[in-house]
Chain A
Amino acid sequence: MSFKCRVSSFKMKMTDLLALLDTRNRTLETGDSLTATLTPRQLLHSPAWPLQFERPLRIPMTDSAATLPKQYGFVIDNRRCIGCHACTVACKSEHDVPIGVNRTWVRYIEKGEFPDVRRHFSVMRCNHCSDAPCITICPTGALFKRKDGIVDFDTSVCVACKACTQACPYDALYIDPNTTTAQKCNFCAHRVEQNLLPSCVVVCPTTAIVAGDLNDPLSKIAQLVREQQTTVRLPEKGTGPNVHYIDGRPESLLPNVAQSAQGWMWSSQAAGVGFKAGQEHQPLPGLQALPDTTAKPVDAAARQVYDAPQKGILWGRKITSYIITKALSAGISGLTSLAALTGAAVAHPGWTFGIALVMLIITFGLLIWDLGQPKRFWMLLTRGNRKSWLVRGAYVLSVFGGTTTALWLDAAGLFDLGNAARPLHLLNILASAFAASYTAFLFAQAKARDAWREPWWLAHFALHGALCGMAFFSFWGDAAAAAFSPLLLGALTISLLLLLGHGHLGYRSAESRTAHRLMHTGDQAWIFWLGVVGIGHVLPLLVITFNTSLNPFVGLMILAGQILHADQMVIQPQKLAIA
């Protein structure tokens, strides 16, 4: 009887597991379940266990063939790969993949010093994750998992929001310029359906790519994973990748470890690709541009010498603008309600609610405008994936729009809410706070961008709302503005402390640290220090402290600081290579 263990989404060699648990003499029956708690030390001492894994494990033991569903995956055998790019081209041929973008590609790393130097090749592609972040974030279910474990894709329902490109830590997705939708390796599901192997597997001269059912203990792929030392990419992201590398090297498989160059050994990039095809390409700064030595490549002896073209920044200024218009909308509406509740009512609340609604409409407009398939925006509602914070965000904004609309009708004298006004104001404050800050949950789903997944972004987004709202009321110039002054002082101080204190709170990963360093010390660091910190925070704080009045000049500075901050936080992390 053969046994297979599944540990969350990770696999472990049966023999080693048994050795570890000293259960060799135990008779196991089909359906038996074995629970064990392993310490990190025990795990480290297991020769089969390639990477760190610090959680206690619960290991159900079952007869895999009988109960485990299929999980197709790949083994990339780097002992066999000769870097010939046949897989790349066969894939292009099978799927007619446009120039500039790839479903699979080969990365070259050169490592060592003459004559002890070698070039290493690694095939990159979708990892058909057990817990695929692209599926979670996809708002319309265009990305979905098949019963056989393949992460497949339906072009016809993709709105091209590009969220998946930010969610996939393997940079497997791109926006196809022919269809203007996302695309990626789908394991040639259309071939699998006809009992055929993926094209890349068939073409490979040295059979370095092995495809098969990882859950079938008799398959070649399962045998390789069982008997060879294999590595997966970025297991700490918790995606459960199903592409296993034999002789996988960190400098090849992890981003930003090897040094990169401007252009490769036999190619170069001078224009955008995919969604940005034909556009002038701004070369990404690369890690050498960072003055801080701690952000330098982890492995100075490894040099990246070939890779696929860079896709550029996929969430651009429309997303920056959406953050600001949303913050303005939420801030104006929320503060109007707050003022109403505290009795320091703002002048012309009909107008302020009205302006908040206009801002909300612009926000929706920006979101739709940013879609590659704007005409399909309704699919977010009809096919909404409720796990996606893009969809949840739409719900949040809708609720917020509802409360604000009701309050606007009331304030404009078009409808009398009567006693309902007070609870509705309360609800509106909550809705506007959520509307301002939910983006942090969306960004947290972007598993490719650790810098966006730090807990402080929740506070920052909420503060965006508050500060933008107060900036607005500085122009409104009435009693309410004065009433907000102490609030503003507090919000600005917290915001400033957060901005300066990120580093002390600790980053969730080296990648996040590097992205933040890029913001703080990169070639555009002056925007952060002069614009965001200086003009956006320190100056207004000084003025308010000495003057105590919230005037339009201060409001302008705060607004500028918030705009620049939103822009930096959206753009800078995207300058780092994902994979």
Chain B
Amino acid sequence: MTDFNAIMPPDLGLRSGLQAYPAFEHWDDVVEFDPKAWPRKQENHFSLIPTVCFNCESGCGLLAYVDKATGEVRKFEGNPLHVGSQGHNCAKGPATINQTHDPQRILYPMRRKGPRGSGQWERVSWPDALADIGGRIRKAFQENRREAVMYHVGRPGHEGYIERVLRAWGVDGYNSHTSVCSASSRLGYMLWSGADRPSPDYGNAEFILLISAHLESGHYFNPHAQRIIDAMNRNGAELAVMDPRLSNTASRANYWLPTLPGSEAAVLLAMARIILRENLANREFLKTWTNWETYLQKKHPDKPVDFDTFMTCLTEDYARFTPEFAAQEAGIDATAIADIARKIAKAGSRFASHVWRAAGAGNEGGWQVARCLAFLNTLVGCIDSKGGTGLNSWVKYSPQVPLDAPAPAAWNELIWPREYPLAHYELSHLLPYLLKEGRGKLDVYFTRVFNPVWTYPDGFTWIEALTDENKIGCHVALTPTWNETAYYADYVLPMGNAGERHDVISYETHASTWVAFRQPVQREFQRRQGKPVNRTYEANPGEVWEEDEFWIDLSWAVDPDGALGIRRWFESETQPGQPLTVEEYYEYVFQRVPGLPEAAAKENQSPLEYMRRRGVFEVNREQYHRYEKAGFKTPSHKLEIYSETMEQFGWADQAVPDYIESHVHAGKRAPDQMILVPTFRLPTLIHTRSGAAKWLNEISNRNPVWLHTSDARRLGLATGDVIRVETEIGYFIDRVWVTEGIRPGVVACSHHIGRWRREQDPAANQWSANTVSIEKRGDGYFMRVLQGPRPFTSNDPDSSRVFWRDGGVHQNAALAIHTDPASGMNCWHQPVRVMKPKPGDQYGDVFADTAKSFELYKQWLDKCRRSPVQQDGKTLRRPLWLKRPHRPRDEAFYYDTNA
């Protein structure tokens, strides 16, 4: 018998005799008493089938309870075998069943009837949809316009799959959401270490510094939260949190530093200064593992190249970052800065830290926040140590995929414009502006679980681009649920939720490398019942497909006779002339996971069977100090305190960790402007996907603007009052939430709320969506809320019980974009004027001037520094050593300088 109390490390009901999960041996037939019939003992039999959550990026394990009598999924619990989530989940895990049974989900492929965006749809057959879309792609390929096909993903988590497809197509068409999320932090981390994300070992840490909200929301919310809380309660670890808003994370912190947005790097450098001046740094680590010689040679060419001189110079170079200076910039207490610096030094190798989204995503120069934080990591030598901060590239597993075509020789400038040689990565938020500028057009544009009209700033510009058929020939939305972007599609193709699709997933959630398997649970159930189906859609609800099979079939539709050389990458190896099957694909993938075949053999199973049964495999755990073998993946193989790459690409002024004054810095704001922090997530929601989850919207359904008591007094406002927030491109009308939990001078509004549909759009997400009207007004667009969420009729009786009428405000539409010239990050924070409403303003109104927005785009474009690196009349687009997802061949990294 498996004792899951032993597997789940924190003592749950230890010795209460109660177990967290039924023993693994019984998963094929678990008997539960029906909770509704209780106390009458009515037995229900379930098959427990592991899969992986499809809400946030954590990739937590789920166990689907498939009713053996009906084949229906009854509920989702956690998967105790999953080493990342350890059988626990956040609210979004169990709410997966809401998404599965959403009465308004899309069950059949739809094609638009009237003009794009007119809200008229008709059902279409899958073969017809595939033939049409495939034909368009084939035409583009035949006309040698491979850059006219683009795939744009919101929620990834399908390691390696789409990259393989795009390589087979020979297309540089991978676009992502990174530039509205983590581009800044990635650049900051990458310059130091050659890895773009940290992998903190919170569970063993002594001191934790978060510039993020990992106890409240993303990104690895549940896996991180459980380890941070455990370290604090079990080992007495201390937590410091930098956030101008009192997040739930900050609420748990020993030190809350409500830093003024944009000042974070200054505070971190002041901490570095204390560590240096008080001789608390790990000298041995610095001497062995940083490129300190380069630092000296470049910064102090007149000085002798010895380590002591380096330490002296370094200390002097950062002397200007006094705690008093930082405290002044950040508006916080200088003693707290010193206290934390000393505690970080004391924790030494057991210092775990993270910056994700937050300050990085908010500010121009936010990438230096990550760089300065990594500077602290380096000073105390906690890199990849037990309880320290590792690198994702050592922890996350990247699968080997079958039938892998060579990398394309193409470079798509709609995704990687040449102005941004250091971007991390795709300039995804610039797509509509680049199209507007006439830099290209798209024949076929796939959005996959991606909703920029609502999630991105300046959504009206996205609507403009999506409705212009000259810019986008065909927009295909691959999504489990209707959304604001899908309203402007030509095809809306229903894709599976967590229990309705195959994906292989691996994330650096902690000091362990794991691979997890998302699978269509009803398909797996039928297989276990001895009635296997050939395709996932045969077992899924309605005609819901999974993307894996979609891309295989679409590739066949693109190249039906194999003439384009594409079809061969999607043909079965065992049955030539037949399409590749997902079984073959994952058999190949799992056969190559180190240690998995051996583990499976012990159970007399194939690796695929093992993964279908368990859903997860741990490749290794608690491996530390991996840099000792081969160094770091930087040009110097050291941690780079001085980046020659930055110097080479025109950023010599930012070659070392430094403080860049943000675009919302006091000096750049008008005296009457406040800073809007528009980025925070709620613990219960996850962008578009949670809109269909009734239990999540019941808990969170509006997004008032947080305003400090003193600001409210100054403005004569009280909780519940309507306010007008004016941005650079427009305004939104919201209500006020007066609180002590935000720094004075700063306002905050969650970007998770304010879903909408127009009256003509399909009835969907009515748990969360306002009904709105959108009209052109001058050079912009005006949105008015006609009605908040209301009870509605459906096959779920709960839809008649919606007790909230306030669906919040779509603030994102009024936000201006600001593209960081180095990282390519959209810097979210906004300088705003907060005031009482003007006559005619109504709660929920949003206006944005898209012409102004375009002007701002160009102004920020002017800040860019194009690559100065020349080679044989060609310009190097991007440092070759820097990572690029879906990387083309090296030859594509150059463009003709004179072209």
Which residues of chain B from 82 to 97 have any CB-CB distance to chain A below 8 Å in the complex?
A: 87-95, 97
Picked from A83, A94, A272, the residue with its CB within 8 Å of the CB of B248 is A83
Contacts of B246 in A (CB 8 A): 110, 117-119
How far is A322 from B812 in the complex, measured between Cα atoms in Å?
55
Residue in B35, B78, B258, B719 whose CB lies within 8 Å of A114: B258
Q: Which residues of B contact A119 (CB under 8 A)?
A: 246, 248, 251, 741
CA distance A155 to B37 in the complex (A): 8
B806→A270 contact, CB < 8 A: yes
B797 at the interface (CB under 8 A from A): yes
B residues near A192, Cβ cutoff 8 Å: 18
Shortest distance from the beta carbon of A182 to any chain B beta carbon, whole Å: 14
A216 to B16 alpha-carbon distance, docked (Å): 8
User: Counting CB contacts under 8 A, is A88 at the interface?
Assistant: yes
The residues of B that contact A210 with a CB separation of less than 8 Å are 11-13
**Contacting A262 at CB < 8 Å: which of B16, B252, B708, B720?**
B720
A154 to chain B, nearest CB (A): 5
> Are the C-beta atoms of A114 and B89 separated by less than 8 Å?
no
Bound complex: CA of A196 vs CA of B695, how far in Å?
Answer: 24
Bound together, the chains give a CA A395 to CA B175 distance in angstroms of 75
B77 nearest in chain A by CB position: A202
Provide the bound-state CA to CA distance between A107 and B34, in Å. 29
CB pair B15 A219 closer than 8 Å: yes
Complex CA gap A221/B16 in Å reads 8
A113: CB under 8 A from chain B?
Answer: yes
Within 8 Å of chain B (Cβ to Cβ): is A407? no
B737 part of interface (Cβ distance < 8 Å): yes
Q: Which of B93, B225, B251, B720 contacts A120 (CB 8 A)?
A: B251
Instruction: Give chain B nearest CB distance to A528 CB in angstroms.
Output: 29
Q: Please, which residues of chain B bring their CB within 8 A of the CB of A265?
A: 704, 706, 737, 739
Within A153-192, the residues touching B (CB, 8 Å) are 153-156, 177-178, 186, 188-192
Chain B, interface size category, equals: 35 or more
List chain A residues, Cβ under 8 A from B449.
none
Main secondary structure of the interface of B (DSSP, over half): loop
User: Do the beta carbons of A93 and B699 come within 8 Å of each other?
Assistant: no
| Assembly CA distance A82 to B221 (angstroms) | 11
Task: Scan B1-37; emit 1 where CB is below 8 A from any A CB, else 0.
Answer: 0000000001111111111111000000001111110
Chain A CB within 10 A, most for which of B32, B89, B222, B740:
B740
B683 within 8 Å of A (CB atoms): yes
CB contacts (< 8 Å) of A281 on chain B: these are 803
Residue of A nearest to B735 (CB): A263
**Residues of the A chain whose Cβ atoms lie less than 8 Å from the Cβ of B694:** 99
**B690-710 interface with A by 8 A CB criterion:** 694-696, 698-704, 706, 708-709
Please tell me which one of the listed residues B33, B94, B701 contacts residue A190 in the complex, with CB atoms under 8 A apart. B33
Nearest CB in chain A to that of B796: its residue: A99
Question: Contact: A98 with B798, CB < 8 Å?
Answer: yes
Contact B702 A80 (CB under 8 A): no
CB pair A220 B20 closer than 8 Å: no
Q: Check if A196 sits within 8 Å of B94, measured CB to CB.
A: no
Q: Is there a chain B Cβ closer than 8 Å to A115's Cβ? A: yes
8 A Cβ contacts from B217-238 to A: 221-222, 225-226, 229-230, 232-233
Query: Quick one: given A115-B743, A119-B251, A152-B39, are A203 and B16 in contact (CB under 8 Å)?
Result: no
| Selected contact of B803 from candidates A189, A216, A262, A271, CB within 8 Å | A271
Say how far B795's CB is from chain A's closest CB, in angstroms.
Answer: 14
| CB atoms of A110 and B739 under 8 A apart | yes
Interface residue A309 (Cβ < 8 Å from any Cβ of B): yes
Q: How many angstroms between the C-alpha atoms of A92 and B682 in the bound complex?
A: 19
Inside 8 A of B702's CB, which chain A residues have their CB?
A: 263, 266-268
Task: Tell whether, in the assembled complex, residue A207 and residue B38 are in contact, meaning their CB atoms are under 8 Å apart.
Answer: no
**A93-B97 CB under 8 A given contacts A112-B740, A190-B33, A206-B225:** yes
Whether the pair B684, A85 counts as a contact (CB closer than 8 A) is yes
Q: Which residues of B lie under 8 Å from residue A201 when comparing CB positions?
A: 12-13, 20
- Alpha-carbon distance A563/B550, docked complex (angstroms): 70
Does A261 count as interface, using CB distance less than 8 angstroms?
A: yes
Q: Which residues of A contact B531 (CB under 8 A)?
A: none
Docked pose: A289 CA to B453 CA in angstroms: 43
B216 within 8 A of A: yes
A100 at the interface (CB under 8 A from B): yes
Contact partner of A266 (CB less than 8 A), chosen from B92, B700, B801, B802, is B700
Give complex CA distance A271, B802 in Å. Answer: 8
The smallest beta-carbon distance between B257 and chain A, in angstroms, is 8
B252 lies within 8 A of A86 (CB): no
Query: Are the C-beta atoms of B719 and A196 separated by less than 8 Å?
Result: no
Q: Mark A326-348, 1 if CB is under 8 A from B, else 0.
A: 00000000000000000000000
Q: Give Cα distance in the complex from A82 to B743, angstroms.
A: 21
The answer on a CB contact under 8 Å between B16 and A98 is: no
For the complex formed, measure the closest distance between the CB of A517 and the CB atoms of chain B, giving whole angstroms: 24
Bits for A70-102, please: 1 = Cβ < 8 Å to B, else 0.
Answer: 001000010110111110111011111011100
CB-defined contacts of A197 to chain B, threshold 8 Å: 12-13, 16, 18-20
Give the residue name and chain of the B residue nearest to A157 (CB): B39
For B68, what are the chain A residues with a Cβ–Cβ distance below 8 Å? Answer: none
Query: Is A204 among interface residues, defined by CB-CB distance under 8 A?
Result: yes
Partner of B75, one of A93, A121, A154, A261: A93
Give the distance in Å from the alpha carbon of A261 to the alpha carbon of B738 in the complex: 10
Q: Give A211-256 interface residues, CB cut-off 8 Å to B.
A: 211-213, 216, 218-221
Closest B residue to A301 by CB, please name it. Answer: B740
Does A521 belong to the interface (CB within 8 Å)? Answer: no
A46 at the interface (CB under 8 A from B): no
Asked if A273 is an interface residue, CB under 8 A from chain B, the answer is yes
Assuming the A-B contacts A84-B90, A194-B33, A266-B703, are A93 and B76 also in contact, with contact meaning beta carbons closer than 8 angstroms in the complex?
yes
> Roughly how many angstroms separate A267 CA and B22 CA in the complex, as a whole number?
36
Measured CA separation A567–B2 after assembly (Å):
60
* Docked-complex contact A195 and B19, CB < 8 angstroms: yes
Which of A93, A117, A155, A193 has a CB less than 8 Å from the CB of B740?
A: A117
In chain B, what residue has the closest Cβ to A178? B797
**Cβ of A88: which chain B residues have Cβ within 8 Å of it?**
91, 695, 699
| A266, B683: Cα distance in complex, Å | 11
Would you give the 0/1 interface string for B796-833, flagging 1 where the beta carbon is closer than 8 Å to chain A? 01101111111000000000000000000000000000
Asked if B225 contacts A82 (CB within 8 A), the reply is: yes
A466 to chain B, nearest CB (A): 43
A178 to B76, CA, bound (A): 22
B765 within 8 Å of A (CB atoms): no
Please, which residue of chain B has its CB at the minimum distance from the CB of A265?
Answer: B737
B682→A266 contact, CB < 8 A: yes
Contact A93 B94 (CB under 8 A): yes
Query: Per a CB cutoff under 8 Å, which of B18, B700, B750, B797 touches A211?
Result: B18
In the complex with contacts A196-B18, A262-B719, A110-B13 CB distance below 8 A:
no
Q: Which of B825-875 contact A (CB under 8 A)?
A: none
Docked complex Cα distance between A364 and B41 (Å): 35
Q: Is the CB of B340 closer than 8 A to any CB of chain A?
A: no
Known contacts A92-B94, A212-B18, A213-B16; can you find 14 more A-B pairs with CB under 8 A? A80-B233, A84-B221, A86-B89, A88-B91, A196-B19, A197-B13, A197-B16, A202-B88, A205-B88, A210-B11, A211-B13, A263-B720, A265-B739, A266-B702
Between A and B, 20 residue pairs with Cβ closer than 8 Å are A84-B225, A88-B695, A90-B77, A90-B94, A100-B801, A110-B740, A113-B740, A114-B743, A119-B246, A195-B19, A197-B13, A197-B19, A205-B89, A205-B221, A212-B18, A221-B16, A266-B682, A271-B802, A273-B801, A278-B800
Hey, which bits of chain A sit against chain B, CB under 8 A? 72, 77, 79-80, 82-86, 88-90, 92-96, 98-100, 110, 112-115, 117-121, 152-156, 177-178, 186, 188-197, 199, 201-208, 210-213, 216, 218-221, 261-263, 265-273, 277-278, 281, 303, 305, 309
Pairs A-B, 8 closest by C-beta atoms: A212-B16, A207-B10, A190-B33, A270-B805, A119-B251, A206-B229, A93-B94, A89-B91
**Residues on B close to A: CB < 8 A?**
10-22, 31-36, 38-41, 75-78, 87-95, 97, 215-216, 221-222, 225-226, 229-230, 232-233, 246, 248-249, 251-252, 256, 258, 332, 682-684, 694-696, 698-704, 706, 708-709, 719-720, 737, 739-744, 750, 753, 791, 797-798, 800-806
